[in-house]
Structure 1
Amino acid sequence: MKPRAAMIFAAGLGTRMGALTADRPKPLIEVGGRPLIDQALAHARDAGADPVVVNVHYRADQLRAHLAPHAVRIADETERLLETGGGLRAALPLLGPGPVWTLNSDAAWTGPNPLRALAGAWRPGMEALLLLIPRSRALGYAGAGDFDLDATGRLARGTGYVYTGAQILRTEGLAEIPDPVFSLNRLWDRAAARGRLHGLVHDGHWCDVGRPENLALAESLLREGAA
């Protein structure tokens, strides 16, 4: 079953962006002449996602106003941040049944639509399919890497690839976690233990826009991608 609904994560505090998020939420920071959230929305719409759900917390009124013309559903986390796992579970009544796309809103992309690429590679038996970029090509990324990818497309924790923030995920396992606030990493680890955590390498470029110094990198990436 292919995904139908998409969840865009937009509820983070954006503290790493410093003064840039003093008066606005991170998804409204502009890169390439438009807010970050707009590129995420464009990917979801182009992939045929319906419904599209966006969670909000910090300066939620600004995001609500910006999203009002876009016919999206809002998952309200203003009272409590739930992290990715708790936030996705709380949004399930808005998303509906079946596997879902999830997409972070703090990245810049070139190349194929990440959500379309994931849908084309989604297969029965997968519990999660994560879109990856080799660590050597992860612009603006300062970490040690997230996963290693074997010849069958299965993932294990490692350093060779970076998770880009786009995936398809079966949501049934969310009910097995009792905590209200938790990361999707817990679902991934369970899927990996069953051999059902898979990865797909993005055929394009990607930049983490989580820090102020990465804005120039993202702008340059988008200019080159449009050339």
Structure 2
Amino acid sequence: MHPTSLMLFAAGFGTRMGDLTRTRPKPLVPVAGRPLIDHALDLCQEAGIAQVVVNTHYLADQVHAHLANRRGIVISHESPDILDTGGGLRHALPWLGPGPVFSLNSDAIWTGANPLAQLLAAWRPEQMDGLLLLVPKTRAHGHANKGDFTLDAAGRLRRGPGAVYSGAQIIRTDRLDTISERAFSLNRLWDLMLTEGRLFGAYHQGCWCDVGHPGGIAQAEELLAGAGDE
């Protein structure tokens, strides 16, 4: 079964952004003259995603107003507490529907091939419960850690220094209800999939920039202008 709906994560507090998110949610921070969330929604539209669910929590009214009257977008508001990625995805299932779904973080900028189209082309439901789009460290801008995963010859993932998880994936949701906590990370599902050899990865064909911190804004704008491409 192939995914047709997407979860766009936009509920976070944006604490790494400092003063930039004191009175404005991170998805509305501008990059190259447009809010981050609009760059993400462009990717969804280009990939032909039929249904996009956006989760909200911090300064949610601003995100709601920005997305008002946009077709194909549903708001999944998290209250009174933020639910993290796993809890947030489970909360949005009534709108996402059954089967695997795309998910995408709203705090990144991409160049090259559409990340969602790449995931769909690589998705093999008979052997995969999750497919993460990764970026080699040489093409991951604004990101300083040692990487998140390595791939074996078949594309199966292992945790450890290597490629950077980009925040884009396809994931099956049927095991979300096995987790008792209300708020939890999707890492919980990934760990189950890793144990069973059903978490896979693919490399993004292009560059990527983390815009979760102030320095990422200038780096992302350089990337979009062509200065950061490799």
TM-score relative to the length of structure 1: 0.97
Structure 1 gap segments, 5+ residues each: none
CA-to-aligned-CA distance 1:100-136 (integer Å, 9 cap, x gap): 0000000010011100110000002200000000123
Query: Partners in 1 of 2:228 and 2:120 — Cα distance?
Result: 24
Code of the residue aligned with 1:85 in structure 2: it is: G
1:146 aligns with 2:148: yes
Distance 1:8 1:156 in 2: 25
- Which of 168, 171, 177 is matched with 2:170 structurally? 168
Give the letter for the 2:89 counterpart: L
Counterpart amino acid of residue 99 in structure 1: P
CA distance in structure 2 between the partners assigned to 1:225 and 1:57 by the alignment: 35
Alignment match, 1:155: 157
User: In 2, are the aligned partners of 1:84 and 1:184 still within 8 Å (CA)?
Assistant: yes
Answer yes or no: is the 8 Å Cα contact 1:14–1:21 preserved in 2. Answer: yes
Identity percentage over the alignment? Answer: 59
Aligned letter for 1:127? D
Preserved contact between residue 130 and residue 190 of structure 2 (Cα < 8 Å): yes
The structure in which a higher percent of residues are helix is 1
Q: 1:25-78, CA deviations, whole angstroms, 9 ceiling, x for partnerless residues?
A: 000011122110001111112212121100001110000000113221000113
In 1, the alpha carbon distance for the partners of 2:174 and 2:217 equals: 37
Residue pair 2:222, 2:228 contacting (<8 A) in 1 also:
no
Aligned partner (choices 117, 131, 134) of residue 132 of structure 1: 134
Task: Give the aligned partner of residue 120 of structure 1.
Answer: 121
The answer to whether the 8 Å contact 2:6/2:104 transfers is yes
Q: Give the whole-Å Cα distance in 2 for the aligned partners of 1:128 and 1:183.
A: 14
Q: CA–CA distance in 2 between the matches of 1:137 and 1:159?
A: 15
* CA–CA distance in structure 2, aligned partners of residues 225 and 199 of structure 1: 27
Partner of 2:35: 35
**Residue 144 of structure 1: how far off its partner (Å):** 2.3
Q: Secondary structure, in 3 states, of the residue corresponding to 1:55?
A: strand
How do residues 1-227 of structure 1 correspond to structure 2 at under 5 angstroms? 1-71=1-71, 72-123=73-124, 124-224=126-226
How many Å separate the matches in 2 of 1:48 and 1:28?
23
Unaligned ranges ≥5, structure 2: none
TM superposition shift of 1:225: 7.6
Which stretches of structure 1, 4 residues or more, deviate above 6 A after TM superposition?
Answer: none
SS in 2 for 1:211: coil
CA contact (8 A) 1:145 1:158 kept: yes
One-letter code aligned to 1:200: A
Secondary structure at 2:169's aligned position in 1? strand
How far off is 1:163 after superposition? 0.3
Query: Deviation at 1:23?
Result: 1.2
3-state DSSP of counterpart to 2:3: coil
Give the secondary structure class of the aligned counterpart of 1:38: helix
RMSD over aligned CA atoms reads: 1.4
1:47 and 1:96 mapped to 2: Cα distance? 18
1:177-227 per-position Cα deviation (integer Å, ceiling 9, x unaligned): 111110001101110110000000000000000110111100000110899
Q: Aligned partners of 2:217 and 2:87: how far apart in 1?
A: 29
Q: For residues 20 and 47 of structure 1, what CA distance do their matches in structure 2 show?
A: 30
